[in-house]
Amino acid sequence: MATAAASQAAALRWEVEDGVAVLVLDVPGRPVNVLSPELTREFERALERLARREDGVRAAVLLSGKPGVWIAGADIDLFRTLTRPEEAEALSRHAQELMNRLAALPVPLVAAIEGVALGGGLELALACSYRVAADTPKTRLGLPEVQLGLLPGAGGTQRLPRLIGVRSALDLMLTGRQLDPRRASKLGLVDEVVPAPILRRIAVQRARELADGQRAPHLPRERGSPVAWERVPGAVALVLRQARAQVVRQTKGHYPAPLRILEVVGRTWNRPLAEGLREEARAFGALAVTPESRALVHIFFASNRAKEDPPLPPGVRAPTVQRMMVVGAGFMGAGIAAVSAQNGIRVRLKDVNAEALGRGLRTARQLLEAYAQRRRLPRWERTKLFDRLQPTLRYNGLRHAELVVEAVFEDVELKRHVFRELEAAAAPTTVLASNTSTIPIARLAEAVQRPERVIGLHFFSPVERMPLVEVIVPSTAAPAAVALGHRYVKAIGKTPIRVADRPGFYVNRILGPYVQEALLLLESGVPIEAIDAAAVAWGLPVGPITLLDEVGLDVAQKSGEILRQAFGDRGAASDALARLMADGRLGRKNGRGFFRYEAGKRRGVDAEVYRLLGVQPGAAPPTPELQDRLVLPLLNEAVRALEEGVIDSPDVGDIGAVFGFGFPPFRGGPFWHLDQVGLSTVVARLEELTRRFGRRFEPTALLRAKAERGERFYA
């Protein structure tokens, strides 16, 4: 039977149950449990009490007092203050010492994991004698340090391979992948998976059994892998070679952390633990101060800030979306409907005729099917999931919806007509959102009686994969409508950025000059391969010409036209897209674009494109010059968007670019990158390009002013 709590600590509560100390971790004043020097001191006090067997305890259990989070790792905030590798190395040594003390406790310690156990959190679990996880959707285990440009620095690179084998450990460390409890149990990372309500009871029971010698602890080996085939000479070397080749292919050498992980594990997996820990700490120290890690840590915090709810006037509430309608069952509409249903929202998908609706419904159901398989949903949950998505040809039920997303064909009159119909059928409070990429939201708001409830929700394609949604805020929008849209985007697992209702919004606006410059380069005779290669070498996921083929030449042309009408006075523009479209080229979707396609597979550049554009491809300028010509206009446009209030902070601009089109995360986003290069360097380079190529490169006033004052975008 449980006895009353013997004492109360700030973050770590000490309770005693049947001779077992139950340590309940609940860091005060923080939304999640994170490891910090203060918490380490508390842990140390608790460990001393355990070592003394205070209250007669024979074993211990570590539980979290925060629902959904066991331990989210080390406090990432701490990394921002580190300036020298030695400081970071010391931080790592400190964390390792805590884990070593846990592992050396004279009483068994059971990790009772409910919620996320990430980074230092999982490393702590690895130092325990036994791990039980609750079977809840929020319970996930992983080592995401690589996503912050780091390696696990609290013993993870050492204890994980010694517990589950080198190959599985590398997979987790190199990808930052998070495992659900069942997968973690298959790998031997957790010893048991139990329903949440009995987690504490089972953990206490296992702790007692361990103390009584009725059950053996499950500990990492002192050295080497527990997987038999990995102990065959040469086996691990092969695993390492293959992993390295994959890392190089995927990161193109832009990310030091995964290479360092391979190096440390390769050198130490078969050495004594203490030696391995020393190597780990040194590598952690070196990585923590790299520009790549700083940029990635910046993205982590910037995305949290972007997710903060917008302020609401006193007394105003924005309801959460429980029911919604998606109007227009095309590819986008189907994707929006599926992603919403996956996240617990009841969705009606509407179109005007049965055929279009049937097609959209099939697409949406395929997405749900893929999701259900990925998540291995049990039958009853699958049924609930599919039930949440209902087709309709009419606006029935719309009265109960908090939100409608319109995703019909991109035609302003059609959309205005739909908005009028929606207003007639919806409740007065229903928020009406358009998923347009080119039409001003104000034009749609004008069409209805209550424009204050009209916003834009600009999704990116394919909806199920793209992490960003632009919440477009026309000047007429009510704060509650904006807040509802923002919260909805978060509820479906995406990152919202609030953007003013200006041409191209933010993402397409800054891509505009980049794509334009690529076309001008092409027209001046630079080979397509060289243009794309320069962008990819800079770290972008694909080059601009490939991007055009993927997005569709018609879509890009329309978007470009909008920007040209709005900002055309900035100089030369290419009409290459129009000319290629006149030849029936739409890009990948019709198998004809800048590239050739055979049976859906891309082959090479289509030489016919040069002929159509009257271009003789010649030698390319040096890569750095190509990169400057492509990227600097994009950066300049991002600053202009900030200057004009399209976005309200550099954070939003960075997140929009990284999540919207894959601006290289290791560069931290346009504003972060500008700061790193130095604003006056960028201004000088833009001025030089202006002299050589024209006004489109002119640095924007804000950039110039900040450069003159020696300022940065981030303090």
Tell which one of 11, 12, 25, 72 touches ligand 3H9 (CB under 6 A). Answer: 72
- The yes or no reply on residue 74 touching ligand 3H9 (CB under 6 A) is yes
Name, in order, each residue with C-beta under 8 angstroms of 340's C-beta and a sequence gap of 6 or more.
321, 324, 326, 347, 492
CB of 86 to ligand 3H9, least distance (A): 14
* Interacting span for ligand 3H9 (CB under 6 A) from 140-148, 265-273, 314-322, 447-455: 140-148
CB of 343 to ligand 3H9, least distance (A): 13
CB of 95 to ligand 3H9, least distance (A): 4
Instruction: Locate all alpha helices (DSSP H) within 116-255, ordered by sequence.
Output: 120-126, 156-164, 166-175, 181-187, 199-211, 235-251
Structure tokens at 291: 């520009």
- Give 712's DSSP letter: -
* Interacting span for ligand 3H9 (CB under 6 A) from 146-154, 383-391, 401-409, 593-601: 146-154
Q: How far apart are CA 666 and CA 675, in angstroms?
A: 14
Q: What letter represents residue 426's amino acid?
A: A
Catalytically annotated residue among 402, 470, 517, 637 = 470
Tell which one of 11, 47, 62, 95 touches ligand 3H9 (CB under 6 A). Answer: 95
Query: Is 410 assigned a catalytic role?
Result: no
Tell which one of 31, 272, 358, 678 touches ligand 3H9 (CB under 6 A). Answer: 31
Pick 90 or 352: Cβ nearer ligand 3H9: 90
Angle at 208 between CA 204 and CA 212, to 5 degrees: 170
Q: Pattern of binders to ligand 3H9 over 486-525, x per CB under 6 A?
A: ----------------------------------------
Q: Is the Cβ–Cβ distance between 503 and 567 less than 8 Å?
A: yes
CA 96 vs CA 90, 223, 322, 517: distances in Å: 10, 17, 45, 50
Beta-bridge partners for 118: 142
**Order of strands across the sheet that contains 403-406:** 389-392, 346-350, 323-327, 403-406, 431-434, 454-459, 468-473, 495-500
Number of residues that bind ligand 3H9 (CB under 6 A): 26
- Quick one: CA dihedral 100, 103, 105, 106, positive or negative? negative
Tell which one of 3, 250, 304, 366 touches ligand 3H9 (CB under 6 A). Answer: 304
Q: How far apart are CA 480 and CA 319, in angstroms?
A: 8
Q: How far apart are CA 279 and CA 262, in angstroms?
A: 12
Q: How far apart are CA 464 and CA 468, in angstroms?
A: 10
CA 395 to mean position of chain CA atoms = 35
CA 64 vs CA 111, 131, 544: distances in Å: 10, 13, 47
- Give 34's DSSP letter: -
- The yes or no reply on residue 77 touching ligand 3H9 (CB under 6 A) is yes
User: Does residue 7 sit in helix, strand or coil?
Assistant: strand
* Interacting span for ligand 3H9 (CB under 6 A) from 150-158, 533-541, 585-593, 691-699: 150-158
Structure tokens at 693: 């190529």
* Interacting span for ligand 3H9 (CB under 6 A) from 142-150, 479-487, 494-502, 554-562: 142-150
On the 0-12 / 13-18 / 19+ scale of CB atoms within 10 A, 308 is exposed
Q: How far apart are CA 664 and CA 634, in angstroms?
A: 13
CB of 268 to ligand 3H9, least distance (A): 16
- The yes or no reply on residue 154 touching ligand 3H9 (CB under 6 A) is yes
Pick 153 or 660: Cβ nearer ligand 3H9: 153
* Interacting span for ligand 3H9 (CB under 6 A) from 149-157, 375-383, 665-673, 679-687: 149-157
The CA-to-CA distance between both ends of the chain, in Å, stands at 55
Tell which one of 64, 92, 430, 557 touches ligand 3H9 (CB under 6 A). Answer: 92
CA 44 vs CA 39, 112, 190, 650: distances in Å: 9, 19, 24, 41
Pick 123 or 654: Cβ nearer ligand 3H9: 123
Residues 98-137 that bind ligand 3H9 (CB under 6 A): 116, 118-120, 123
Q: Which residue is closest to ligand 3H9 by CB?
A: 119
* Interacting span for ligand 3H9 (CB under 6 A) from 88-96, 340-348, 410-418, 424-432: 88-96
- The yes or no reply on residue 153 touching ligand 3H9 (CB under 6 A) is yes
Pick 285 or 330: Cβ nearer ligand 3H9: 285
CA 700 to mean position of chain CA atoms = 30
Pick 108 or 155: Cβ nearer ligand 3H9: 155
- The yes or no reply on residue 76 touching ligand 3H9 (CB under 6 A) is yes
Pick 124 or 499: Cβ nearer ligand 3H9: 124
Name, in order, each residue with C-beta under 8 angstroms of 251's C-beta and a sequence gap of 6 or more.
258
CB of 261 to ligand 3H9, least distance (A): 11
Tell which one of 24, 58, 63, 73 touches ligand 3H9 (CB under 6 A). Answer: 73
Tell which one of 21, 47, 91, 647 touches ligand 3H9 (CB under 6 A). Answer: 91
- Cβ density class 125-160: b for 16+ within 10 Å, e for less: bbbbbbbbbbbbeebbbbbbbbbbbbbbbbbbbbbb
Q: What is the CA radius of gyration of the chain?
A: 28
- The yes or no reply on residue 75 touching ligand 3H9 (CB under 6 A) is yes
Tell which one of 15, 17, 114, 145 touches ligand 3H9 (CB under 6 A). Answer: 145
Pick 281 or 447: Cβ nearer ligand 3H9: 281
Tell which one of 24, 69, 133, 703 touches ligand 3H9 (CB under 6 A). Answer: 69
Structure tokens at 327: 């109007």
Pick 119 or 544: Cβ nearer ligand 3H9: 119
* Interacting span for ligand 3H9 (CB under 6 A) from 5-13, 143-151, 252-260, 629-637: 143-151
What's the farthest any 2 CA atoms get from each other in the chain? Answer: 88
Pick 144 or 360: Cβ nearer ligand 3H9: 144
CB of 76 to ligand 3H9, least distance (A): 4
On the 0-12 / 13-18 / 19+ scale of CB atoms within 10 A, 106 is exposed
- Give 107's DSSP letter: S
Pick 375 or 382: Cβ nearer ligand 3H9: 375
CB of 150 to ligand 3H9, least distance (A): 6
Phi and psi for 592 in degrees, rounded to 5?
A: -140, 120
* Interacting span for ligand 3H9 (CB under 6 A) from 29-37, 258-266, 531-539, 691-699: 29-37
CB of 299 to ligand 3H9, least distance (A): 11
Residue with token string 């006090």: 45
Q: Annotated active-site positions, please? A: 470
Q: Site residues (CB under 6 A) for ligand 3H9?
A: 31-32, 34, 69, 72-77, 91-92, 95, 116, 118-120, 123, 144-145, 148, 152-154, 156, 304
